[in-house]
Homo-oligomer: A and B are copies of this chain.
Amino acid sequence: MGIKTNTLLDEYHPLFYPRSIAVVGASDNPFKLGFHSLAALKAAGFEGEAYAVNPRSGGEIQGVRAFASIGELPAGIDLYVYAVPEDKVVEAVRQSARNGGRAGVIFAGGFRETGRRGEARQRELIEAAGPMKLIGPNCIGVLNTKSRLNATFASPLGYLPAGDVSVVSQSGGVGSCIMSALTDELVHVSKFISIGNRANVEFADMVEYLSFDPDTRVTCLFIEGLDDAREFLERARETVSRKPVIVFNSGYTERSSKTALSHTGSAASSEAVYRGAFSQAGILRADSVSQLVAVAKALAMGGELAGNGVFLSTHTAGPAILITDSCERAGVRFPPLSPETAEEIRQFLPPYSVPVNPLDMFAFAWTDTSLYLKAADAALAQDDIHCAVAVFQSGLGSGLEFPAREYAEIGRRHEKPVFLCLTAPALFAGEMARAQAEGVITYNRAEKTASALVALTRRLETRRRAPGSAR
């Protein structure tokens, strides 16, 4: 396994950590992708050698040294970004491969997704690339926050802070939605790969690579269709004990299948088939972008559970019921409190509150938040309880705030993750940010909290089943 690691990390090093990059089709004209692509690269603060290629250019484009042809570039450039129309792509790739290019990103559509002629063009492309690793065609590129690489044409992506979640998306558009949703959850990205038509880099390659990547803690996938589902599942299955993988796959009606076909060139298979296969391979499934990201957040923040027992406390029954209901349907347990735990909790409970799990402490706990701390401390001491979840309605700046620091400390003392469902509008994301900075896994909606707990329980099963698993 050690050898495979090194091989993979080496193979994709030029793609994710390039020392030199050439933008083919770089431009000074803001109506061209070649403009946005070079601008994005520069804005992200890439520190290696950058080159521009444009036959009509003088010696400089956007302040970057420009060449009239690929042949004139220095040999052995790590990464080529192709911002040229589809009919120029194959020849450009052929020239860069000859010139020792090691990896490439191709934005243009007009390949396999457009029918027979496009398929032929994609075959030519693969042949022209030789050993070069190609991302795309028909994609929005690659981002690596750790190496300040923004090889997309969207400058704003380069301003994202570095994080632990990597995203591989067949659709650039859905990939962008995932990035937006991660930003909303205050979770940060490590690598983003808009994988498009997959000329010679497949989902399985990326999942395998990311499972060894020290900068990635969780891998998120958006899959429309797989050409060789069996191979993907086999290779993915081998990685999930090392690192969690979550997939959101869109299910298609007959009509949208046709649209998908003309999208990234994959026949869309039936949703149900994929659903079962993913689960069997130990891949976690999400039904929406929002669910995908909620689960990724829990895993990125160290939320893995040692068992499926959850303690929940609240001052407001409604949202707590939404959580417990979804959880119990999916096999998450809320173990009864032991007589000792119940007695300990009874000592400080407000009137009418009964020491059970889930625990409702009514509005008393909203004005006296120390009740949450006492309850979590008592419950987490119980062996069959593996995490705590607190439900709290944000005081919306009125001065009432959940005691996240002390709550996180209790979690660390018991070595069990702690969750907070802090219902609040996005306007109060600062409150979520403070709680997360303390190490509390925080959601602003009941349904996200439930999705995370359910996925962590599924993940637990996968880890238990995995041969050679540490637990």
Q: A153: which B residues are within 8 A, CB to CB? A: 363
Task: Specify which chain B residues have a CB less than 8 angstroms from the CB of A109 in the assembled complex.
Answer: 352, 362
Closest to A363 in B: B33
Inter-chain contact B329/A253, CB cutoff 8 Å: yes
Give Cα A471–Cα B169 distance, bound, in whole angstroms: 44
Known: A177-B423, A328-B253. A319 touches B171 (CB 8 A): yes
| Cβ contacts under 8 Å, A367 to chain B | 30-31, 33, 36
How far is the CB of A433 from the nearest CB of chain B, in Å?
12
Q: Does A307 contact B (CB under 8 A)?
A: no
Could you tell me the distance in whole angstroms from the C-beta of A188 to the nearest C-beta in chain B?
12
Among B173, B315, B329, B429, point to the contact of A317 (Cβ < 8 A). Answer: B173
Q: Which residues of A, 307-355, contact B by the 8 Å Cβ criterion?
A: 314-322, 324-325, 328-329, 334, 351-352
Contact of A154 among B171, B252, B396 (CB under 8 A): B396
Q: How big is chain A's contact interface, by range?
A: 35 or more
Alpha-carbon gap, A156 to B431, bound state (A): 15
- Contact of A260 with B by CB under 8 A: yes
Question: Which among B171, B250, B358, B429 is the interface contact of A426 at CB below 8 angstroms?
Answer: B429
Contact of A251 among B114, B263, B324, B325 (CB under 8 A): B325
Return A337 CB to nearest CB of chain B, in Å: 15
A57 part of interface (Cβ distance < 8 Å): no
* A441 surroundings in chain B (CB, below 8 A): none
Contact A259 B184 (CB under 8 A): no
Question: 1/0 contact trace for A152-178 toward B, CB 8 Å?
Answer: 011110000000000001111111110
| B contact residues around A320 at 8 Å (CB) | 173, 259
Quick one: which of B170, B322, B444 contacts A318, CB cutoff 8 A? B170
Task: Please give me the residue from chain B that is nearest to A248 by CB atom.
Answer: B322
Task: Judge whether A256 is part of the interface by a CB distance below 8 angstroms.
Answer: yes
User: How many angstroms from the CA of A260 to the CA of B358 in the assembled complex?
Assistant: 12
Q: Is the CB of B352 within 8 A of A445?
A: no
Residue of B nearest to A159 (CB): B396
B176–A393 CB distance below 8 A: yes
A391 is an interface residue with CB less than 8 A from chain B: yes
Q: How far is the CA of A288 from the CA of B451 in the complex (A)?
A: 13
Check: A378 CB closer than 8 A to any chain B CB. Answer: no
A176 touches B423 (CB 8 A): yes
Is the CB–CB distance between A288 and B447 below 8 Å? yes
In A222-254, which residues have CB < 8 Å from any B CB?
222, 224, 250-253
A175 contacts across to B, CB distance below 8 A: 318
Q: Is A427 an interface residue (CB 8 A)?
A: yes
Question: Separation in Å of the A196 CB from the closest CB of chain B?
Answer: 10
**Which residues on the B side are within 8 Å of A252 (C-beta)?**
321, 325
Are B180 and A423 in contact (CB-based, < 8 A)?
A: yes
A424 at the interface (CB under 8 A from B): yes
- Given the contacts A155-B398, A445-B289, A180 and B31 also touching, CB distance less than 8 Å: no
